[in-house]
């Protein structure tokens, strides 16, 4: 593919050690380019997190590209085939931390925006970029805070493409038009510690928990819908015991998680769990953490424009999906009616030797540019 603009920018971003929440001047490099292309760039700092809001134009509709410059830690360096912060071409692939998640997407939609405004300087509407360095971390001072700031200014977004790596086998074969919610619980069952030889003097919390847990694993929480699979309940950890084999433990701690569809609410799920625990006459405490609410963008103009762009560039018929974990799309959906996630193949994300195919970079950029054309030139 040669030394293209998108490849050069991807390499430049990978070379910056932007492990969450550090941005390592990725955003300032992007702002310099975007300023030159006519964008008004604003740095928004919340806590230790740097965010970039860039916009060109003031008219509607506003089409926004969103992404994150932060990456997850590298893991053991000696297990990488090459330095994770030295972008390396090998066997038709570009290796480095963030190559797929998601510095290639950021480079692609930045160059796509540059090309579009250069070719169509009198386009209608506006283009925005929302970049954070707090997506891989706690997600407290990143996109959610920027969206709150924009909402306070009464700035509304019409369409947003989040550059998450959504493709499975071929570029564009899957995009995300929603995500399930995530609700975690930490359940502590209270028993009475004692000697295993005198069980009548003890109350084993594991034994007490077992029937309730069996019931919880068999409940149909909902049936899902046309866009979401049924809500799932999964146990992630079970802790109990003193380490001795002759002691009945005094407590058992269970960690569990719901990935829930838009037809269920956190309040409903919490209530049903408590009903089960009460029915089994358990003495317990239960702490909840809402990791993210679900969001859904039904088929509409954005999904149609993106699907057409993907097919024009690759010949692939894309699939709309709501599978996978949470993303910053859940925050953007609060201020934007149509949010779709689309990016490169996700097979290597967060792994040793993360990479993207070199021949995917130019098509990825072109798909983003074509989507702008369909939304702002029609």
**What phi and psi, each to the nearest 5 degrees, are found at residue 169?**
-110, -35
- Cα–Cα distance between 267 and 107 in angstroms, integer? 40
- Cα–Cα distance between 126 and 55 in angstroms, integer? 7
Distinct helix (H) and strand (E) counts, the chain: 9, 19
The answer to the question of whether 25 is labelled as a binding residue is: no
SS3 content of the chain, % helix, strand, coil (to 5): 30, 30, 40
- Cα–Cα distance between 10 and 97 in angstroms, integer? 11
- Catalytic residue, chosen from 135, 158, 313, 362, is 135
288: left (phi over 0), alpha (psi -120 to 50) or beta: beta
Packing angle between helix 5-14 and helix 358-376, nearest 10 degrees? Answer: 110
Active site residue 70: yes
Active site residue 135: yes
The answer to the question of whether 200 is labelled as a binding residue is: no
- Catalytic residue, chosen from 70, 134, 328, 373, is 70
The answer to the question of whether 350 is labelled as a binding residue is: yes
Q: Which DSSP letter does residue 334 get? A: T
The answer to the question of whether 341 is labelled as a binding residue is: no
The answer to the question of whether 123 is labelled as a binding residue is: no
| Length of the chain, in residues | 378
In the annotated binding site for Zn(2+), the residues are 68, 101, 136, 164, 350
Q: Could you list the active site residues?
A: 70, 135
In the annotated binding site, the residues are 68, 101, 136, 164, 350
């Amino acid at each position: 593919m040669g030394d293209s603009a998108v490849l050069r920018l991807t390499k430049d971003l990978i070379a910056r050690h932007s492990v969450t929440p550090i941005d390592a001047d990725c955003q300032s490099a992007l702002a310099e380019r975007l300023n030159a292309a006519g964008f008004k760039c604003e740095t928004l700092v919340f806590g230790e997190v740097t965010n970039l809001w860039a916009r060109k134009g003031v008219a509607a509709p506003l089409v926004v590209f969103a992404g994150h410059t932060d990456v997850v830690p590298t893991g053991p360096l000696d297990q990488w085939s090459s330095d994770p912060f030295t972008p390396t071409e090998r066997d038709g692939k570009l290796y480095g931390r963030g190559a797929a998640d998601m510095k290639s997407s950021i480079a692609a939609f930045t160059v796509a925006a540059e090309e579009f405004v250069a070719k169509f300087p009198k386009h209608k509407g506006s283009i925005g970029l929302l970049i954070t360095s707090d997506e891989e971390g706690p997600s407290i001072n990143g996109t959610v805070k920027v969206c709150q700031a924009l909402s306070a200014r009464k700035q509304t977004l019409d369409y947003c493409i989040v550059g998450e790596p959504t493709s499975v086998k071929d570029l564009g074969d899957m995009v995300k038009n929603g995500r399930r919610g995530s609700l975690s619980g930490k359940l502590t069952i209270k028993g009475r510690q004692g000697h295993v030889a005198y069980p009548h003097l003890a109350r084993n919390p594991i034994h007490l928990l077992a029937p309730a847990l069996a019931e919880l694993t068999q409940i149909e929480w909902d049936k899902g819908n046309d866009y979401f699979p049924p809500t799932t309940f999964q146990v992630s950890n079970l802790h109990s015991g003193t380490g001795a084999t002759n002691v009945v433990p005094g407590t058992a701690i269970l960690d569990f998680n719901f990935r829930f569809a838009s037809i269920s609410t956190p309040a409903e799920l919490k209530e049903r769990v408590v009903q089960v625990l009460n029915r089994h006459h358990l003495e317990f405490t239960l702490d909840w953490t809402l990791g993210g609410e679900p969001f859904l963008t039904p088929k509409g103009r954005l999904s149609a424009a993106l699907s057409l762009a993907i097919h024009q560039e690759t010949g692939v018929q894309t699939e709309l999906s709501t599978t996978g974990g949470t993303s910053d799309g859940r925050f953007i959906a609060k201020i934007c009616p149509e949010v779709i996630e689309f990016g490169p193949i996700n097979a290597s994300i967060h792994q040793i030797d993360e990479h993207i195919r070199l021949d995917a970079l130019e098509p990825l950029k072109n798909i983003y540019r074509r989507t702008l054309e369909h939304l702002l030139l029609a």
